[in-house]
Amino acid sequence: MIQKKKKSQSDEDANTIDSETHLNGHTDLSTDKGTLVKDEVNIQPKTQNDLMKELIESDIIEQPLAEPPQITSKPSDYADFAAIHSFLTMFGVELDLPNVSLIDLEQIFSTNHRLSFEKDSIGILEVLYMKLFRKLKQSYRYSPVANVTSDRLFKTIVRYVYLVRFEQAEQVQFQGYESLSTEQRLKLFKSLCEIQFEENSKFRSTLQETFKGDNASALRLEPFGVEQEGYHIWFQEDQDCNFIVYASGATNENVEEWDVRARTFEELEVYIADLKSRTEVNPKDTVEERSKVVREEKEKEKEKRRQEREEKRKAAAELAAKKKKGKGRGRRAKEVAPVEISSSESEEEEDDGCVKCLRNKQDDQVLLCDTCDAGYHASCLVPPVTTIPEGDWYGPHCTQVSLAQKLAERMAAIRKKVQAKERKSRRMQFYGIRQSNIIESNSNEPQTGRRAGRTKVDYRFSEYDRTVEDALRSSEEENDRPSRRSNGLSRMR
């Protein structure tokens, strides 16, 4: 009887577990001891929040990340970072955005940075998001995100990611902004910057008035220089003398590459030295040597082809002789057709045309450098030139030489700025002036294009002036006291 009773109890437990599985859609397994945990069956219908909580606890849905993902790459390693910095530098004045240095910009887009939704602790990134959201007030599609405040910033970001159909929209909603990687954060903010050109009517009209006519080309940034391999070099600098040197270009598979060449003065010096070492010899000066090597290789190939033709002729002659010997006298053997030599093999190609391919074909497509007179085929350049450029044109070698010179001059200019700032800070410390007493003033004068010139500053010396006035008053009072005493003594006499 006892055994049967135990068996019936186990059957009841199995039925209970089956009913729970049918109602909840899963069984709850204990991960610590590996034993099956039985919950009481709730006949009452469960809410959506309760089901979601159970799914998260059972690991069917991933839990929100407690800590942001650890990624070794820096925000400045991505092309979107350079695009965002260029946007803030060129159009920050028109959009009334704060000045952001490269170091601060890299910090706010790192995975360690968290958004603050409290009014008293908002940072640079929060201000940028709110200002750009509010600029879309007149937009028909994005006007719902314009009424943003610090406490509603996260909800506004969630609404925005669904409006632009951001790939990680659900991730932002359920796991938070901190779950995004550095690349995803940059992509999200870059999309908000790009929307300003289409949906911000006031900003668009300002650009049309400022950059109308011939000034429209100023909206497109030109590379700082070009390497002889075809990579475009971009130089970005902020008001604090921080800089980053980028290189961009397409590979053979038409994949865009983006690489950081230098961030510090030491890295920039090494990069300039590498550029100079690769341009010590002009390809034009080595044309004769390289042409001689190419001629020797061609002669070897021609000799090899000639020997192959001779062997074919001998084999054909022997075959014809055998056939003639085996047949009767009255019959004539077939003549063996001579092996024809193609015109491309017989004609010797001329060299010394293009310094890269060393051929003299397509003379109308050869471009001559205006500095060293070296010739290049338009199709041999990287990237290939489809149309003959007007005006002066410089070859890859001279272009890289010019790039190294410009980088050296720019590095010297930045170092002078750094030295001037250091001297200024030492003078300020000598006179007792602190940087905290200097605040930047937002000028109401209309500014166009890139931010240029010196920033106006206001000095707050009200407390110092009060101290000086109090000291003067006290000294005057002390000087008046002896005179009053002498007057009183004279009257008594």
Q: Report pLDDT digits (tens) over 301-314.
A: 888 888 888 888 88
Q: What percent of the chain has a predicted confidence (pLDDT) above 70?
A: 68
Asked if residue 35 belongs to a domain, the reply is yes
- The number of distinct structural domains making up the chain is 2
Q: Are 15 and 104 in a shared domain? A: no
Q: Are 80 and 207 in a shared domain? A: yes
pLDDT of res. 36: 39
More confident residue, 362 or 240: 240
Whether the per-residue pLDDT at 187 is higher than 50: the answer is: yes
Q: Are 22 and 135 in a shared domain? A: no
pLDDT of res. 479: 67
Q: Are 102 and 195 in a shared domain? A: yes
Contacts 24+ apart (CB under 8 A), 466-471: none
Asked if residue 208 belongs to a domain, the reply is yes
Domain boundary among 171, 194, 219: 219
Least confident of 165-174, 327-336, 433-442: 327-336
Domain boundary among 179, 194, 219: 219
- Rounded Cα–Cα distance for residues 47 and 155 (Å): 23
Q: Are 11 and 135 in a shared domain? A: no
Least confident of 173-187, 202-216, 319-333, 359-373: 319-333
pLDDT of res. 89: 92
pLDDT confidence band for 62 (50 / 70 / 90) = very low
pLDDT confidence band for 73 (50 / 70 / 90) = confident
pLDDT of res. 434: 65
Whether the per-residue pLDDT at 390 is higher than 90: the answer is: no
pLDDT of res. 358: 82
Q: Quick one: average pLDDT of 397-418?
A: 94
Whether the per-residue pLDDT at 33 is higher than 50: the answer is: no
The rounded mean pLDDT for the chain is 76
Least confident of 106-110, 233-237, 378-382: 378-382
Q: Are 171 and 104 in a shared domain? A: yes
pLDDT of res. 470: 76
Whether the per-residue pLDDT at 27 is higher than 90: the answer is: no
pLDDT of res. 18: 45
Could you report the per-residue pLDDT of 233-292, keeping only the tens digit for each?
Answer: 999 999 999 999 999 987 656 667 889 999 999 999 999 999 999 998 888 888 877 777
Kindly report the number of other CB atoms within 10 A of residue 256's CB atom: 9
Q: Are 84 and 200 in a shared domain? A: yes
pLDDT of res. 58: 52
pLDDT of res. 304: 84
Q: Are 127 and 188 in a shared domain? A: yes
Could you report the per-residue pLDDT of 449-462, keeping only the tens digit for each?
Answer: 444 444 444 455 56
Q: Are 125 and 180 in a shared domain? A: yes
Q: Are 29 and 118 in a shared domain? A: no
Asked if residue 155 belongs to a domain, the reply is yes
Asked if residue 110 belongs to a domain, the reply is yes
Domain boundary among 162, 197, 219: 219
What is the extent of the structural domain holding 89? 75-219
Asked if residue 185 belongs to a domain, the reply is yes
Whether the per-residue pLDDT at 150 is higher than 50: the answer is: yes
What is the model's pTM? 0.65
pLDDT of res. 109: 93
Asked if residue 124 belongs to a domain, the reply is yes
pLDDT of res. 251: 64
Three-class secondary structure assignment of the chain: CHHHHHHHHHHHHHHHHHHHHHHHCCCCECCCCCCECCCCCCCCCCCHHHHHHHHHHCCCCCCCCCCCCCCCCCHHHCHHHHHHHHHHHHHCCCCCCCCCCHHHHHHHCCCCCCCCCCHHHCCHHHHHHHHHHHCCCCCCCCHHHCCCCCCCHHHHHHHHHHHCCCCCHHHHHHHCHHHCCHHHHHHHHHHHHHHHHHHCHHHHHHHHHHCCHHHHHHHCCCCCEECCCCCEEEEEECCCCCEEEEEEEECCCCCEEEEEEECCHHHHHHHHHHHHHCCCCCHHHHHHHHHHHHHHHHHHHHHHHHHHHHHHHHHHHHHHHHHHHHCCCCCCCCCCCCCCCCHHHHCCCCCCCCCCCCCCCCHHHEEECCCCCCEEECCCCCCCCCCCCCCCCCCHHHHHHHHHHHHHHHHHHHHHHHHHHHHHHHHHHHCCCCHHHEEECCCCCCCCCCCCCCCCEEECCHHHHHHHHHHHHHHHHHHHHHHHHHHHHHHHC
Q: Are 24 and 90 in a shared domain? A: no
